[in-house]
């Protein structure tokens, strides 16, 4: 699969078979995700691969703000990746001040690039993913014993797709672009 095909055929997958993904495959996916660009090459993203059913269920029952759809996704997946970030580096100067008016916004910018890189690497290997943003980050941090000084950025369910969802609509290029 070439890069453009990979980007164009990735879908958010919310239903999975019971097939498990090996540690070797996760290492290969994260080996790709770590190549994502980061603020001053700060490389603050961390990946917590959760396959313990009890922990996934705890997150499902206590940490997703009652979101029914995400609950079903978490029931279906047998692995959930917690994308976390080391706080206070991305977007900051060495003296702790912000470099730009976007402040700590660059932290989520880096997290987004890493998440997409992770999802594309997984897709290329035949795995489906769904990035989930609806959760209580303090509760998720507690559920996975996140080290002090890190924050949960996103949940990413992953597995072998039960089926490939239809593509979701996109705006036309003309609506999105302005040439000067």
Ligand X SMILES: Cc1cc2nc3c(=O)[nH]c(=O)nc-3n(C[C@H](O)[C@H](O)[C@H](O)COP(=O)(O)O)c2cc1C
> 16: exposed, middle or buried (C-beta count within 10 Å: 0-12, 13-18, 19+)?
buried
Cα dihedral value 165, 171, 68, 6, nearest 10: 40
Q: Does 84 bind ligand X (CB under 6 A)?
A: no
Q: How far is the CB of 176 from ligand X (least distance, A)?
A: 15
CB of 23 to ligand X, least distance (A): 26
Cα–Cα nearest to 59, from 40, 50, 39, 89: 50
| Residue from 88, 103, 126, 133 in contact with ligand X (CB under 6 A) | 133
Return the range that interacts with ligand X (CB under 6 A); candidates 37-45, 55-63, 69-77, 80-88. 69-77
How far apart are the two ends of the chain, measured CA to CA in Å? Answer: 34
Output the smallest distance, CB 151 to ligand X, in A.
15
Per DSSP, 42 falls in state -
Distance CA 41, CA 55 (A): 32
Output 21 or 130, the one with its CB closest to ligand X: 130
Tokens of 33: 């995700």
Smallest separation (angstroms) from ligand X to the CB of 14: 6
Which residue sits closest to ligand X, CB atoms considered?
A: 133
Q: Could you say whether residue 120 binds ligand X (CB under 6 A)?
A: no
Our CB check for ligand X shows the closer of 7 and 35 to be: 7
Closest contact distance (angstroms) between CB of 95 and ligand X is 31
Burial of 147 (0-12, 13-18, 19+ CB in 10 A): exposed
45 binds ligand X (CB under 6 A): no
**Which residues contribute to the site for ligand X (CB under 6 A)?**
11-12, 14, 69-70, 73, 130-134, 165, 168
């Amino acid at each position: 699969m070439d890069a453009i095909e990979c980007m164009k055929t990735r879908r958010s997958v919310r239903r999975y078979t019971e097939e498990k993904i090996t540690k070797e495959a996760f290492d290969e996916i994260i080996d790709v995700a770590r190549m994502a660009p980061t603020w001053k090459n700060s490389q603050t993203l961390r990946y917590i691969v959760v396959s313990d059913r009890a922990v996934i269920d705890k997150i499902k029952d206590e940490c997703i703000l009652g979101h029914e759809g995400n609950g079903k996704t978490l029931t279906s997946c047998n692995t959930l990746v917690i994308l976390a970030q080391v706080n206070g580096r991305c977007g900051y100067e060495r003296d702790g001040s912000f470099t730009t008016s976007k402040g700590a916004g660059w932290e989520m910018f880096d997290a987004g690039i890493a998440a997409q890189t992770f999802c594309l690497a997984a897709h290329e290997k035949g795995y489906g993913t769904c990035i989930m943003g609806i959760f209580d980050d303090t509760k998720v941090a507690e559920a996975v014993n996140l080290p002090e000084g890190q924050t949960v950025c996103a949940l990413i369910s992953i597995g072998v797709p039960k089926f490939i969802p239809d593509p979701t609509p996109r705006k036309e290029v003309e609506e999105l672009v302005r040439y000067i």
